[in-house]
């Protein structure tokens, strides 16, 4: 048996980041991972400009009660003339500051009449001017390789005039569900059958992380069928996830099927609940991760153990999202010989602080607990956890992203 942390680290490092790279336009960038360090090439802002609607002048020209002639109206996008002594330039947010001006006064502190303006409040030196390069200087680091891109990064890239970015190829994930009892949703079901929920669930989890569920197959519980399916998946995909058939039952044939393909099984049982049977095999340079069949276990194992490997192969720099510590509400003390991951909801207590409430039925087949949960609370092995104890909280918004 392996400890959870060991298993997590082992799996996270089971494969290298994808070698495939491509350039995508900014429209396609959200959800992709930056593949190169980028430096700024232009100063932002590129020139001194006004932070206000108002007037630019020389501070030295200001006197209480003085009326200064308006030399020019300069709109955002216009190029102003140099400021003549004793004059002001009317300008607007984003207008360039004319040469010679050293302050901007906002229009609320002025009276304009007959092309002359009176400034009613003494300006502070340099006020309301956004300086060239105060945001970003040309040559400064802009974004680091491994950054997952979203709207904020798109804004930064666009501000530099970039229309496309280098990103890692989209990770292609193959999914194999197993079991003679399973039928696909949408079709008829015999009394002894259940619908295949893991297939669609894993495809959605993969897609939710910005990877592509490139091929989703189902195999019957025969070594032949499993071997054929694994072959097809390995031919198409960078990473293969199988689910079910990896325990010690007579029909648990995933292990022999992988061995027959030359898979070297580098990991077997993980001391965690739910989800004990987890296996990693390398076939060539491609990892195959075998997850437990119970949908809840598969979901938890994907979040806790598989998602760091997916991030790594996607090229992301952050493999392990943050874990916080929050008080657990529990009606009875809890203790288990394995690390236990409870499905919990993060809520605001009466005092406004966050606390964790466990789902009532923690059975590993209880699919209804999944949409209810916001995250997983980690209870240490062999330690009694009491009501109000702080425990590590894995927020699934982060761990499944």
- Phi-psi region for residue 56, left (φ > 0), alpha (ψ -120 to 50) or beta? beta
Span from 40-48, 122-130, 265-273, 291-299 in contact with ligand AMP (CB under 6 A): 291-299
Cα–Cα distances in angstroms (integers) from residue 19 to residues 109, 137, 287, 316, 367, in the given order: 59, 31, 15, 13, 37
DSSP character string of 99-148: TT--EEEEGGGEEEETTEEEE-SPPPTTTTEEPTTSSB-TTSEEE-TTPB
Q: Which of 164, 197, 345, 362 binds ligand AMP (CB under 6 A)?
A: 197
Binds 247: which of Mg ion, ligand AMP, none (CB < 5-8 Å by kind): ligand AMP
Q: Which residue is nearest to Mg ion (CB)?
A: 179
Rounded to a whole number of angstroms, the minimum distance from the CB of residue 178 to ligand AMP is: 6
Identity of the residue, 30 or 200, whose beta carbon is nearer to ligand AMP in the bound complex? 200
Give the burial class of 337: count Cβ atoms within 10 A of its Cβ; 0-12 exposed, 13-18 middle, 19 or more buried. exposed
CA–CA separation, 230 and 106 (whole Å)? 69
Question: If binding is defined by CB under 6 A, does position 213 make contact with ligand AMP?
Answer: no
Find the helix or strand (DSSP H, E) in which 46 lies: none
Binding to Mg ion (CB under 5 A) within 150-179 occurs at: 179
Rg of the chain taking only CA atoms, in angstroms: 30
For 157, the 3-state DSSP assignment is: helix
Identity of the residue, 72 or 222, whose beta carbon is nearer to Mg ion in the bound complex? 222
Binding mask 226-255 for ligand AMP (x = CB under 6 A): -----------------xxx-x-x------
CA–CA separation, 100 and 64 (whole Å)? 21
Question: If binding is defined by CB under 6 A, does position 292 make contact with ligand AMP?
Answer: yes
Q: Which of 80, 210, 213, 244 binds Mg ion (CB under 5 A)?
A: 244
Span from 1-9, 77-85, 290-298, 315-323 in contact with ligand AMP (CB under 6 A): 290-298
Question: If binding is defined by CB under 6 A, does position 8 make contact with ligand AMP?
Answer: no
CA–CA separation, 91 and 55 (whole Å)? 5
Rounded to a whole number of angstroms, the minimum distance from the CB of residue 293 to Mg ion is: 5
Total residues interacting with ligand AMP, rule: CB under 6 A: 18
Question: If binding is defined by CB under 6 A, does position 196 make contact with ligand AMP?
Answer: yes
CA triple 141-145-149, angle to 5 deg: 95
**Pick from 314, 318, 317: nearest CA to 21:** 314
Identity of the residue, 169 or 277, whose beta carbon is nearer to ligand AMP in the bound complex? 277
Identity of the residue, 84 or 251, whose beta carbon is nearer to ligand AMP in the bound complex? 251
Q: Which of 245, 292, 295, 315 binds Mg ion (CB under 5 A)?
A: 245
Q: Which residue is nearest to ligand AMP (CB)?
A: 293
CA dihedral 227, 232, 234, 239 (to 10 degrees): -100
Total residues interacting with Mg ion, rule: CB under 5 A: 3
Q: Which of 179, 275, 287, 315 binds ligand AMP (CB under 6 A)?
A: 179
Identity of the residue, 71 or 196, whose beta carbon is nearer to ligand AMP in the bound complex? 196
Binds 294: which of Mg ion, ligand AMP, none (CB < 5-8 Å by kind): ligand AMP
Contact (Cβ atoms closer than 8 angstroms) between residue 268 and residue 237: no
DSSP bridge partners of 291: 243
| Residues found near Mg ion in the complex (CB under 5 A) | 179, 244-245
Binding site for ligand AMP (CB under 6 A): 177, 179, 181-182, 194, 196-199, 243-245, 247, 249, 292-295
């Amino acid at each position: 048996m392996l400890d959870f942390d060991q298993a997590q680290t082992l799996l996270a490092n089971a494969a290298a980041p994808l070698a495939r790279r491509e350039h995508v336009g900014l429209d396609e960038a959200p959800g992709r991972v930056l593949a190169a360090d980028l430096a700024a090439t232009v100063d932002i802002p590129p020139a001194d400009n006004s932070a206000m609607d108002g007037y630019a002048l020389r501070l030295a020209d200001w006197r209480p009660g003085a009326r200064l002639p308006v030399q020019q109206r300069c709109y955002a996008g216009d190029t102003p003339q140099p400021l003549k002594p004793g004059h002001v330039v009317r300008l607007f947010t984003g207008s360039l500051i004319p040469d010679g001006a050293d302050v901007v006064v906002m229009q609320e502190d002025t009276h304009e009449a007959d092309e002359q303006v009176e400034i009613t409040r003494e300006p502070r030196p340099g006020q309301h001017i956004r300086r060239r390069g105060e945001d970003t200087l040309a040559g400064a680091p802009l974004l680091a390789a491994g950054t997952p891109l979203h709207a904020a990064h798109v804004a930064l890239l666009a501000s530099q005039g970039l229309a496309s970015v280098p990103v890692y190829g989209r990770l292609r994930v193959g999914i194999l569900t197993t079991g003679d009892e399973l039928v696909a949703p949408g079709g008829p079901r015999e009394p002894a059958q259940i619908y295949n929920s893991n297939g669609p669930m894993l495809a959605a989890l993969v897609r939710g992380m910005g990877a592509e569920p490139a091929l989703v197959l189902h195999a019957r519980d025969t070594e032949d069928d499993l071997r054929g399916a694994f072959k097809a998946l390995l031919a198409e995909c960078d990473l293969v996830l199988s689910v079910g058939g990896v325990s010690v039952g007579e029909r648990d044939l995933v292990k022999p099927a992988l061995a027959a393909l030359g898979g070297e099984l580098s990991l077997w049982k993980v001391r965690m609940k739910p989800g004990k049977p987890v296996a990693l095999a390398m076939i060539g340079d491609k990892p195959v991760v075998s997850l437990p069949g119970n949908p809840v276990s598969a979901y938890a194992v994907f979040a806790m153990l598989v998602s760091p490997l997916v991030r790594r192969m996607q090229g992301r720099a952050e493999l392990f999202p943050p874990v916080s510590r929050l008080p657990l509400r529990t009606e009875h003390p809890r203790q288990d010989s394995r690390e236990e991951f409870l499905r919990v909801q993060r809520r605001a207590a009466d005092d406004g602080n966050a606390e964790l409430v466990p789902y009532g039925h923690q059975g590993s087949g209880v699919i209804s607990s999944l949409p209810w949960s916001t995250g997983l609370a980690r209870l240490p092995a062999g330690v009694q956890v009491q009501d109000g104890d702080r425990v590590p909280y894995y927020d699934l918004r982060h761990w499944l992203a």
